[in-house]
Amino acid sequence: MNDKNAALFNADWKFLLGDPQDAFREAYPDRTWKRVDLPHDWVISQPFKRGEENAYTPQNMQGFFAWEGTAWYRKTFFLSDTDIAGKEAYLYFGGAYRNSAVYVNGQKAGGRAYGYSSFELNITCLVKPGNNCIAVRLDNGCEAPDRWYSGSGLYRNVYLRLVPAVHIKTWGVLIKTETVRSADLRSSAPVTVTVSLVNRGGPATGRVYTRILGRDNQTVAQSSQPFNAAGAGEYALQLRLEIQTPLLWSAEEPNLYRAVVHLEDDAGNPIGKPVEVPFGIRSIEITAHKGMRVNGETVKLKGVCLHHDCGITGSAFYEAAWRRRLLALKSIGCNAIRTSHNPPAEELLDLCDELGFYVIDECFDKWKSGYYAAHFDDDWQRDLGDFLLRDRNHPSVFIWSVGNEVENQGSEDMRTILKTLASFVRTLDDRPVTCALEPHVHPPALISAPVSRLVEITKTLAEDVDVLGLNYHEALYQDYSAAIDKPIAGTECYEYYSGVASNYEDVTAKNPWRFVLEDDNVIGQFIWAGIDYLGESAWPAKGWAGAILDICGFLKPNAFYRKSIWSEEPVVYLAFLDPSRKPDYVRGRWSFPKLSSHLNLDRPNREPVTAAVFTNCDEAELWINGKKLGRRSPGDFENRIIQWTFEYVPGEVKTIGYRAGKEVCSHILRTAGPPRRIELRPDKTVLASDGTGIVHVEALITDEKGILCPNEEALVEFALIGDGTILGSCSPDISGALGYALPKTLTSGGKALVILRAGAGTGTLKLSAYSGTLLPAFLELEAIT
């Protein structure tokens, strides 16, 4: 949260899974409840509850976790007379899943049904000097769940905001770069800052000050304006500034500024603390038949769809966990994210601003079916409005999405709702609006319908959006472009296959990226999905395993194919086509051909094997045990995937990439010997002790030489000494029988991941890992203030 008056309110909560009658009362005895720190997802620690193996049931959609239930959170906190004298008190929830009811000192303060909405409650009249108690009831069982793992709990940050009677409203700073040609932005950038003030007291006057800070916190522009809050109410002021020779924001160069806004009274005394809002200066133009231009440069979206769970931590949002995941995606050339299919944590958008991703920010999945159906009519405007106000300053957000594969696509009722939602968005912001359209399969009579009929339906739906968001329509792109004057975004695409025009279930091996490159009207694609996620699964899998990264956030072999077509950084990577490899438990057309990138295959010596070589180089050269086999060019193969068949032998296989005749990259596979030890590899060794400090530790089973043993499935148990917690562990195998919140897991591919969280104290944390006869591993970490 950007308001310096807001204090993070995540520590020392009490939790109970159950629904005691009087838990909202201030004096309710909660001594036996579990102590937890937020963010907290209670579902991730529940046992698995097997359901039907191949049915579209709530149990399957929730990854077979025991997801149904009512839960309570309580927190006692102290406020002095000074804390609240002349102040307004607010509670801010980043997300409370779901059907929340919030009580303060036994009185109901409010709540929100939609578990993904951020919301704020004014609790001024409910708090008092001395001890206070907040109680939050969440009901995760009164309606059908989402179509993916949702988790449940206070799974995002909570803040307590104490402000003077005159203060800046939450989400009350709007920063707009004036609409100018992209070439003009490079010399100067006019900026308008609109500040919404709230006055809960008597008449007040003063000034609003805005400073814009650039690189190294240097002031690059500043302005002020008087305000006159004559009485209780809301007041809006505009300040105009100009930044000379601005550094522009793009995914490639994510330059950010900060607007620091504060109030002073007529005597020059500060009124509360400042609000700091990061923003970027950029020009994005999306034009039919010309594509997308960012700051005057043509850009193709190399995107992925992401659900909100994070594997081990469930739905609980940790900034460090998502930073690690986004950096992994960035490393393969990904430059865009679609927040499927709900408002994300606002901190995720902060990361996208900082690291450089273009974001389709999506508010809803279905409208009148599924979980939200019971709330749509009453709540859509509040939920959509808060979503827009919260996210509108993020430079990463370039398109708003108001739905995904909604019910009754193409009907008059559906079009009426779409028009209503899109029109409402345009009253609050000028960015393009889309709605992700499903393939034309409803009613079933549309399957194998003439292309002209499908174009006619899509042309009608296109009238209410600015960008055509299309799920699995690649084979129809050129037909749409010829008939419809709207740009296209492939809002969902298979990773490897593409459907034929008349039936998306009838697939070909033409990669969807080729359709993007062939049509200037198509601004890019979003692969389903970027990272394996929990839910939407068939037993024994607990999630969807057809993504580019696995549930641990490790790059799969197919990630290097994505890098070879998305990234300019030289890459060459060899993996064997391995049909006998353990199944991924994903529906076939969403899968990638099965690959294994190691030299411990279960194959006899000298048996022919076929390797796939992914490269963006001019040529790739193959060496086997020091002997050159030859060179091949990716341009000679379908989808630029070199296929190479040779006799399988252990030892070493080396692939070298060449550009303009020079070696620029290489990839080496070596045969591993018997498993010998565990290796622990942390992504950091120093953690913050403020509740946000987490570390990801890779646990690898290696041989005597340190080579990964890729077939090893070993039970690894972890122990931690010091002020910290093991949040959980898992392996890339999403079908594992162990839960995610345990200090032990069964490795897959010789790998696993464990996540630790530092406590409030400083000092050394000592992690140990054990597994049978393998040599154990020990790791020391430091927690600091």
- The pair of structure tokens assigned to 451 is 């292309």
Q: Assess contact for 686 and 765: CB atoms under 8 A.
A: no
The reported pLDDT for the residue numbered 179 is: 53
Lowest average pLDDT, out of 13-22, 313-322, 448-457, goes to 448-457
Nearest to 586 by CA among 514, 490, 475, 494: 494
* Confidence bin at 305 (pLDDT 50/70/90): very high
> Left, alpha or beta for 683 (phi > 0: left; psi -120 to 50: alpha)?
alpha
User: Is 584 a residue whose pLDDT tops 80?
Assistant: no
DSSP state of 48: B
Rounded CA-CA distance 326/335 in Å is 10
> What pLDDT score was predicted for residue 181?
55
| 83-120 pLDDT, tens digit each | 999 999 999 999 999 999 999 999 999 999 999 999 99
- Cα separation, 15 vs 160, in Å, equals 19
> How many residues in total does the chain contain?
785
pLDDT value of position 183: 56
Calculated CA dihedral for residues 769, 773, 774, 779, nearest 10 degrees:
30
Q: Give CA–CA dist 640/624, Å, rounded.
A: 22
Distance CA 28, CA 415 (A): 50
Q: Choose the weakest-confidence range: 48-52, 546-550, 603-607.
A: 48-52
Question: Could you read off the pLDDT of 330-357 as tens digits, one per residue?
Answer: 999 999 999 999 999 999 999 999 999 9
Q: Show Cβ contacts of residue 21 under 8 Å, excluding neighbours closer than 6 positions.
A: none
pTM for the structure as a whole: 0.96
- pLDDT tens digits along 481-509: 999 999 999 999 999 999 888 788 888 99
**Residue in this structure with the two tokens 């209410």, named with its chain if needed:** 464
The average pLDDT across 117-125 equals 98
Residue 182 confidence (pLDDT) above 60: no
How high is the pLDDT of residue 51? 66
Sign of the alpha-carbon torsion through 30, 32, 36, 40: negative
3-state secondary structure of 275: strand
Residue 599: its pLDDT value, please? 95
The predicted pLDDT at position 102 comes to 98
**Rounded distance, CA 640 to CA 301, Å?**
19
> Is the distance from CB of 610 to CB of 637 less than 8 angstroms?
no
Q: Determine contact, residues 294/523, Cβ cutoff 8 Å.
A: no
Question: What pLDDT does residue 336 have?
Answer: 98
Mean pLDDT of the chain: 94
pLDDT at 582 over 80: no
Instruction: Return the pLDDT at 53.
Output: 58
The per-residue DSSP string of 737-773 comes to SS-SSSSEEE-BTTEEEEEEEE-SS-EEEEEEEE-TT
**Whether residue 98 has a cis bond before it, omega within 30° of 0:** yes
DSSP state of 470: E
Tokens 């590899």 locate to 681
pLDDT at 467 over 80: yes
Separation CA 733–CA 749 (nearest Å):
8
Residue 351 has what DSSP assignment?
Answer: H
Say if residues 594 and 582 touch (Cβ distance below 8 Å): no
- Let me know: does 492 contact 526? Beta carbons within 8 Å: yes
Share of residues in the chain with pLDDT > 70 (%): 98
> What is the spatial distance between Cα 632 and Cα 621, in angstroms, rounded to a whole number?
7
Residue 344 sits at φ, ψ, to 5 deg, of -80, 175
pLDDT higher than threshold 80 for residue 583 = no
pLDDT value at position 588? Answer: 81
Is the pLDDT score of 132 beyond 60?
yes
Look at residue 122 and tell me whether its pLDDT is greater than 60: yes
pLDDT of residue 371 exceeding 90, the answer is no
φ and ψ at residue 360, rounded to 5 degrees: -90, 110
d(CA 317, CA 348): 9
**Helix 319-331 and helix 346-355, axial crossing angle in degrees, nearest 10:** 40
Give the Cα separation of 214 and 538 in Å (integer): 50
How many C-beta neighbours within 10 Å does residue 695 have?
24
Tell me what the mean pLDDT of segment 268-289 comes to: 96
- Tokens 């309580």 found at: 74
